[in-house]
Amino acid sequence: MMIIRYLTPDGSGARVGVLTDLGAVHGLGVGSIAELLSLPLAQVEDLLEQAVETIALDAADIALQAPIDGLTEVWAAGVTYRRSQEARIEESEVQDVYARVYDADRPELFFKSVAWRVVGDGQPIGIREDSATNVPEPELALVLNRHGEVIGLTVCDDMSSRSIEGANPLYLPQAKIYAGSCALGPGIRPARDVRLADGLDIAVEVTREAATIWSGSTRTSLMRRSYDELIDYLFRANDFPFGVVLATGTGLVPALDICVEEGDTVTVTIDGVGVLTNHVVRGAAAFSWLADACRTVQ
């Protein structure tokens, strides 16, 4: 079962439901993902149990959207894997910063995206026009309710400008926060259905004209930080009345000579969670449809 946000052909707007393993879509009894994440975990689980009793649609008749909306935010953790630390040191002109944060008590946490800028499975993901080197960052993301409880898991591609962040760590917001830089999907796998503590396999593949230019795999058990630790720090000085999505960092970073370009396709697979596929486009103009959709909702 997967919690999804979707469109139907009648043009009635985005709905929230569950997609079963048999390809049936059932309504979830809430108007938005944000509303769902305002509820306690026990109430969410009750809604999931009740959903399969509602009238079903065929999955072929819907269009999946990013599993986030409203005032829900996306945050991210950095340098949580040894490979991420090594890669940041390789690319940076200020290497000491990354060596220190990997071993520090306080994790690196940063804001990634508002909901309306997030793209979903099958939609384009962006790279900046003023960035020479850009890479996908495949990550497991925790979907948290307002109480900091893990409602579910989703796949995140935290697209990043390696050249901008490498020039100066203070440029991190410009390297991370821009139109089309965050993809989530295809849906939210309920936490009860995944053995998170055992570790999950993460794989990435970047293809260009049907050829693989980079691939890799890792496992979430290699993270230095625990999920509870990241959640604790995130909620220490912030309230999230409509929940928050927390990407937990990447253990997959290509060599310095690998750079994604417009036209490439990035596929991120997390065992038991889902597969997220996006094609790469360059420049903010390619994402004007996100702003248009935001204005329509308002």
177/211 same-domain check: yes
60/78 same-domain check: no
pTM tops 0.75: yes
144/124 same-domain check: yes
135/219 same-domain check: yes
Mean pLDDT across the chain: 92
**Residue range 243-252: mean pLDDT, rounded:** 95
The sign one gets for the Cα dihedral 42, 43, 48, 52 is positive
Structure tokens at 135: 């890479």
CA 279 – CA 262 distance, rounded (Å): 8
Is the pLDDT assigned to residue 52 strictly greater than 60? yes
Of 46, 65, 84, the last residue of a domain is: 65
127/244 same-domain check: yes
Q: Quote the pLDDT of residue 104.
A: 87
Q: How many domains does the chain have?
A: 2
117/219 same-domain check: yes
142/230 same-domain check: yes
Q: Quote the pLDDT of residue 261.
A: 96
Q: What is the pairing mode between strands 24-27 and 108-114?
A: unpaired
Is the pLDDT assigned to residue 93 strictly greater than 70? no
Is the pLDDT assigned to residue 116 strictly greater than 70? yes
Is the pLDDT assigned to residue 71 strictly greater than 60? yes
Per-residue pLDDT of 11-35, as tens digits, reads 788 999 999 998 999 999 999 999 9
CA 165 – CA 280 distance, rounded (Å): 20
Are 159 and 204 a contacting pair, CB within 8 Å?
no
What band does 164 get if pLDDT is binned at 50, 70 and 90?
very high
CATH number of the domain residue 182 falls in:
3.90.850.10
143/6 same-domain check: no
Q: Which domain holds residue 20?
A: 2-65
Which residues, 6 or more positions from 43, have their beta carbon under 8 angstroms from its beta carbon?
Answer: none
Of 65, 86, 112, the last residue of a domain is: 65
